[in-house]
Amino acid sequence: MYHKEWDDTAMVEAFIEDHADLFNAKVAESVSEKTREMAKAMRDYGDPVEKIAAISGLSIEEIARL
């Protein structure tokens, strides 16, 4: 007998819907951290701050604080 409440797919979809904001926030946080790490490495390598800002999307002020 089929019960929607016991359907694994429905349960996973419900879990994802319930926690989508948390998942998205964690992904954004991870991406932001990787972007800052990349920008810092570029700055340490000697790339111009304007180039780093254009590539990373970070502001010149943010890059200076790294």
pLDDT digits (tens, 9 = 90+) for 10-24: 778 888 888 888 887
The answer to whether residue 46 sits within a structural domain is yes
Better pLDDT: 9 or 4 = 9
This model's pTM is above 0.75:
no
Residue 39: name the closest of 60, 22, 18, 20 by CA.
60
Q: What percent of the chain has pLDDT over 70?
A: 91
Cβ atoms 59, 53 nearer than 8 A:
yes
The answer to whether residue 9 sits within a structural domain is no
User: Three-state SS across 19-49?
Assistant: HHHHHHHHHHHHHHHHHHHHHHHHHHHCCCH
The answer to whether residue 2 sits within a structural domain is no
Q: Which domain holds residue 36?
A: 24-66
Domain count, the chain: 1
